C-alpha cells in the first residue's frame, strides 16, 4: 500500500526525495515486476546514466524512476502524445523526448489504448490485445520515429550508458537495430520479452531481440516475468556475475 499511496498522492517532489533519503528505497519498487530492485543489485552506483525507450510514465511502471531518485539522470523516450507533460513535471532533470524509436525513421501508425502501457506501433500486437480483450482501442495516430543512434549522437554528450531500458510492445528488435553498437554500448540492457513470458523461461534465447544482443556480446543474467536482463560480456568478466 505504501507505493500506491506515494504514486496516487500527487505530492511527489519533496516527499519522494525525503522518502528516498530516509529509506534509500530499499525494498520499494516502482516497476511492474521489481525490475528496478534487480537493476540496483546489478549496478548499485550512486550516479549513472539511463536511457528509457517506451518510458510510458515518469513513475507508474517505471524501471528508471528509482534511479532518478538516487541521483541518476538520462533520456526518456515515448511517442505517446499524452505522457510528456508528466515527464517534464516529475523528471525535470532528464531529457524527455516525445518520439518513437525505429530503424526506419519517418512517421508510423501508433495504436493508443485505454491502458496506455499497451500503446504500440505494432499492428500485430494491437490485434492480439484487442482479440483477447486485454484493453480497448482509443484511436490510432501518426507519430514521428527516429533512430536510437540519432538520439545518442545529439543528447548523450560523451556520457556512457549504464542502463538501457526497452519496453516497446514486441518492437524491441527494430529499436535495437537502430543503434550503432560500436559507438554506444550500454553496460546493462533491461528489455521486455513477451515471447519468453508467454512460452516459458527456457525460450528466452528464442526471442529475436535477445538473439540479436547475444550476437553482439551480451549475456542473459536475469529474468523477471516479462523482462530479460542482459549485460555486456566485459562487465560480466569484470564483476564475475553468474549467467543463465
pLDDT in tens, 94-152: 999 999 999 999 998 888 877 767 777 778 877 877 788 888 888 888 999 999 999 99
pLDDT in tens, 41-79: 999 999 999 999 999 999 988 999 999 999 999 999 999
Q: How far is CA 22 from the centre of its chain?
A: 26
Crossing angle of helices 12-23 and 2-9, rounded to 10°: 150
In this prediction, residue 244 has a pLDDT band, given cuts at 50, 70 and 90, of: low
Cα 60 to Cα 86, 108, 222: the distances in Å are 11, 26, 22
Say how far apart CA 196 and CA 203 lie, in whole Å. 5
Judged against a pLDDT cut of 60, whether residue 23 lies above it is answered with no
**Average pLDDT of the segment spanning 12-26:** 50
Q: Look at residue 3 in the predicted model and tell me its pLDDT.
A: 47
Cβ neighbours of 101 (radius 10 Å): 28
pLDDT in tens, 143-165: 999 999 999 999 998 899 999 99
* Mean pLDDT rounded to a whole number for the chain: 85
Q: Look at residue 242 in the predicted model and tell me its pLDDT.
A: 55
Judged against a pLDDT cut of 50, whether residue 202 lies above it is answered with yes
Q: Which residue has the cell 530479460?
A: 228
Take residue 187 and report the three cell numbers written for it: 553496460
Judged against a pLDDT cut of 90, whether residue 213 lies above it is answered with yes
Say how far apart CA 32 and CA 11 lie, in whole Å. 21
Residue 235 neighbours by CB under 8 Å, 6+ apart: 187, 188, 241
On whether the CB atoms of residues 164 and 51 are closer than 8 A, the answer is yes
CATH class of domain segment(s) 2-239: alpha beta
**Better-scored residue on pLDDT, 52 or 26:** 52
Say how far apart CA 122 and CA 130 lie, in whole Å. 12
Amino acid at each position: 500500500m505504501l507505493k500506491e499511496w506515494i504514486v496516487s498522492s500527487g505530492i511527489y517532489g519533496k516527499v519522494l526525495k525525503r522518502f528516498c533519503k530516509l529509506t534509500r528505497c530499499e525494498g520499494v519498487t516502482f516497476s511492474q515486476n521489481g525490475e528496478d530492485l534487480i537493476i540496483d543489485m546489478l549496478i548499485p552506483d550512486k550516479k549513472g546514466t539511463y536511457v528509457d525507450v517506451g518510458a510510458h510514465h515518469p513513475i507508474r511502471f517505471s524501471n528508471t524512476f528509482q534511479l532518478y531518485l538516487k541521483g541518476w539522470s538520462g533520456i526518456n523516450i515515448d511517442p505517446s502524445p499524452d505522457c510528456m507533460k508528466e515527464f517534464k513535471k516529475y523528471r525535470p532533470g532528464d531529457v524527455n523526448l516525445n518520439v518513437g524509436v525505429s530503424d526506419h525513421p519517418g512517421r508510423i501508425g501508433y495504436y493508443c489504448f485505454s491502458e496506455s502501457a499497451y500503446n504500440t506501433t505494432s499492428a500485430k500486437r494491437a490485434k492480439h490485445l484487442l482479440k483477447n480483450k486485454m484493453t480497448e482501442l482509443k484511436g490510432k495516430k501518426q507519430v514521428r520515429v527516429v533512430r536510437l543512434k540519432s538520439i545518442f549522437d545529439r543528447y548523450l554528450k560523451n556520457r556512457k550508458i549504464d542502463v538501457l531500458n526497452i519496453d516497446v510492445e514486441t518492437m524491441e528488435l527494430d529499436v535495437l537495430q537502430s543503434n550503432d553498437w560500436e559507438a554506444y554500448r550500454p553496460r546493462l540492457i533491461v528489455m521486455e520479452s513477451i515471447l519468453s513470458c508467454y512460452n516459458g523461461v527456457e525460450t528466452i534465447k528464442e526471442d529475436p531481440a535477445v538473439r540479436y544482443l547475444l550476437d553482439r556480446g551480451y549475456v542473459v543474467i536475469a529474468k523477471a516475468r516479462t523482462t530479460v536482463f542482459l549485460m555486456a560480456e566485459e562487465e560480466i568478466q569484470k564483476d564475475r556475475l553468474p549467467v543463465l
